[in-house]
């Protein structure tokens, strides 16, 4: 392991502010054009000159950036891939932001704006660590790749193409680390202290369209089952119990860790839930919300359409349904179950897009130990805990062929901050950006 005396640069908040000021909204690419994305690529070249001087850069599609930092040795068990994305979700202009979402306001020790947490904040701490290490003359012991995508929020192909390039070259990463969990306080009832929640797997995602046709005509004489009613009935049949509840190994491991952070009766409860997965699945399913989502495939109707006028029966109707697949389910199996639950041959079920859940990465290996050590350097009071990520990340494309893939943003986030992701007043504390840089610096320095 190489070592270096590293002094982090001042001004990380200003650099993040400049990133936020570029509205890299991938869902609005058609309206905004490529200019914000091209400007972002130019900005990081300006802000991180050493990274651009010493690392090789490849462009994959119009929106994928892959940097390669050559290590001292070509490790036989593969390189490290640090991932992030620089696109952000749209902003509802009617939402009451304290500061304009693309102003990048720095106030009272915080940086405000769309992307502060998702995902320009986690991206900048990677680049800061690399730039600071390069300034100290540091060279990692194995190759380190930085994989940045510009269309993660729209399930784009930048990261998929980057991952495919590794497969094409026969390179299997030793470790992949992407966005995901964060450092949280009191993560579950009766669990005290801070926990660094590291996603070791993520649920799959499927988007379905339910569509049907019916007799149109005047609304004064409707048939018994209209197109709209048929779709409504189909959606009603896709309730919370559509898929059975079962506890993946990751959740049992998480509960076992939480038992150590609690005391008294709660400690016994978490130990029992960790040891008896069927009981845990039943309890979490009854709790609903996020606990239920941990143990079953969820179904959510997100869009509906049909009709052209208030007094005209629509001849067609459709709805869009989003499924988050539990570990153990598949796209194909989920579609079969949806069709059985609907029980209506006149409702067509079409898969718009879909990805199976990822495998579960180990927590008893050198990779997880390295993450734990880096957490100790950046957030020394936090316990590193595995969990199941319910959102989809770009890392799923690597997890198809790389066995050690984890999801963790090394920033402490309150419940209010986590709610601001894709919401209002997204913000990150400057002190946490500094800790995030420390995490990645420690991780890279400890590579062997």
DSSP 304-330: EE--SSTTEE-SEEEEEEEEEEPBTB-
**Most distant CA pair in the chain, distance:** 81
Burial of 316 (0-12, 13-18, 19+ CB in 10 A): middle
* Cα→Cα distances 128→38, 122, 137, 244, Å: 20, 10, 14, 45
**CA torsion sign, 283 to 285 to 287 to 292?**
positive
SS (H, E, C) 219-269: CCCCCCCCHHHHHHHHHHHCCHHHCCCCCCHHHHHHHHHHHHCCCHHHHHH
Same domain, yes or no, for 177 and 289? no
In a domain, 3, yes or no: no
| pLDDT at residue 1 tops 90 | no
In a domain, 383, yes or no: yes
> Among 373, 391, 439, which residue's Cα sits nearest to residue 412?
439
Model confidence at 218, pLDDT cuts 50, 70, 90, reads: confident
| pLDDT at residue 273 tops 70 | yes
In a domain, 1, yes or no: no
Element (H, E) at 426: none
Per-residue pLDDT at 121:
98
pLDDT above 70 covers what percent of the chain?
99
Residue 53: phi and psi, rounded to 5, are -80, -40
Q: What is the CATH number of the domain that holds 67?
A: 3.40.630.10
Same domain, yes or no, for 292 and 214? yes
In a domain, 277, yes or no: yes
Same domain, yes or no, for 287 and 372? no
Radius of gyration in angstroms for the set of CA atoms belonging to the chain, rounded to a whole number: 23
Per-residue pLDDT at 217:
84
| pLDDT at residue 2 tops 60 | no
Lowest mean pLDDT among 64-78, 104-118, 213-227: 213-227
| pLDDT at residue 249 tops 90 | yes
Model confidence at 85, pLDDT cuts 50, 70, 90, reads: very high
Same domain, yes or no, for 228 and 196? no
In a domain, 2, yes or no: no
Same domain, yes or no, for 53 and 180? yes
In a domain, 210, yes or no: yes
> What average pLDDT does the segment 198-215 reach?
95
Last residue of a domain, one of 323, 355, 387: 355
What average pLDDT does the structure give for the chain?
95
Element (H, E) at 47: helix 35-47
Model confidence at 188, pLDDT cuts 50, 70, 90, reads: confident
Last residue of a domain, one of 355, 379, 406: 355
Q: Report yes or no: 279 and 272 within 8 Å, Cβ to Cβ.
A: yes
Same domain, yes or no, for 34 and 96? yes
Q: Report yes or no: 130 and 61 within 8 Å, Cβ to Cβ.
A: no
Number of domains in the chain: 2
Same domain, yes or no, for 333 and 369? no
Model confidence at 5, pLDDT cuts 50, 70, 90, reads: low
Per-residue pLDDT at 319:
97
In a domain, 306, yes or no: yes
Same domain, yes or no, for 235 and 182? no
Q: What is the CATH number of the domain that holds 321?
A: 3.30.70.360
* Cα→Cα distances 183→203, 252, 414, Å: 20, 20, 9
- Domain of residue 108 covers 12-202+358-445
The predicted model scores a pTM of 0.92
Query: Hey, which residues does 301 pair with through a beta bridge?
Result: 321
Same domain, yes or no, for 41 and 190? yes
* Cα→Cα distances 92→27, 100, 250, Å: 13, 11, 36
Residue 317: phi and psi, rounded to 5, are -155, 150
| pLDDT at residue 3 tops 50 | no
In a domain, 44, yes or no: yes
Same domain, yes or no, for 147 and 288? no
Last residue of a domain, one of 355, 387, 404: 355
Same domain, yes or no, for 46 and 195? yes
> What average pLDDT does the segment 90-116 reach?
97
Same domain, yes or no, for 145 and 251? no
Higher pLDDT, 159 or 190: 159
Number of other CB atoms surrounding residue 407 within 10 Å: 28
> What average pLDDT does the segment 351-375 reach?
96
């Amino acid at each position: 392991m190489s070592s270096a005396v590293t002094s982090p640069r001042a001004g990380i908040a200003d650099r993040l502010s400049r990133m936020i000021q570029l509205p890299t909204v991938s869902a609005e690419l058609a309206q905004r054009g490529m200019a914000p994305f091209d400007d972002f690529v130019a900005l990081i070249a300006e802000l991180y000159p050493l990274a651009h001087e010493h690392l090789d850069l490849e462009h994959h599609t119009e929106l994928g950036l892959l940097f390669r930092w050559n290590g001292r040795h070509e490790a036989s068990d593969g390189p490290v891939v640090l991932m992030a994305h620089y696109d952000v979700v749209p902003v509802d202009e009617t939402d009451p932001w304290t500061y304009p979402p693309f102003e990048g306001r720095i106030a009272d020790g915080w940086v405000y704006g769309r992307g502060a947490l998702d995902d320009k904040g986690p991206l900048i701490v990677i680049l800061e660590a690399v730039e600071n290490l390069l300034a100290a003359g540091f060279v990692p012991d194995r190759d380190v790749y930085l994989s940045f995508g510009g269309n993660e929020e729209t399930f784009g192909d930048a990261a998929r193409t980057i991952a495919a390039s590794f497969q094409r070259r026969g390179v299997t990463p030793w470790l992949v680390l992407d966005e995901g969990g964060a450092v949280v306080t009191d993560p579950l009832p009766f669990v005290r202290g801070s926990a660094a929640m590291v996603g070791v797997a993520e649920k799959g995602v499927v988007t379905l369209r339910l569509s049907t046709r019916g007799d149109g005509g005047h609304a004064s004489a409707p048939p018994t089952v209209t197109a709209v009613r048929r779709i409504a009935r189909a959606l009603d049949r896709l309730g919370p119990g559509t898929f059975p509840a079962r506890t993946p190994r990751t959740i049992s491991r998480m509960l076992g860790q939480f038992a150590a952070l609690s005391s008294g009766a709660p400690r016994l409860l978490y130990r029992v839930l960790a040891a008896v997965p069927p009981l845990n699945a039943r309890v979490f399913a009854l709790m609903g919300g996020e606990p239920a989502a941990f143990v079953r495939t969820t179904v959510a109707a997100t869009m509906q359409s049909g009709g052209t006028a208030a007094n005209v029966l629509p001849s067609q109707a459709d709805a869009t349904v989003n499924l988050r697949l539990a570990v153990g389910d598949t796209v194909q199996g989920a579609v079969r179950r949806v069709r059985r639950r609907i029980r209506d041959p006149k409702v067509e079920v079409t898969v718009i897009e879909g990805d199976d859940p990822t495998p579960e990465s180990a927590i008893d290996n050198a990779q997880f130990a390295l993450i734990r050590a880096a957490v100790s350097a950046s957030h020394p009071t936090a316990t590193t805990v595995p969990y199941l990520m319910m959102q989809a990340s770009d890392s799923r494309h690597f997890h198809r062929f790389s066995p050690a893939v984890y999801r963790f943003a090394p920033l402490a986030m309150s419940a209010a901050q986590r709610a601001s992701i894709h919401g209002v007043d997204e913000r990150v504390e400057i002190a946490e950006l500094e800790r995030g840089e420390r995490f990645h610096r420690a991780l890279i320095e400890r590579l062997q």
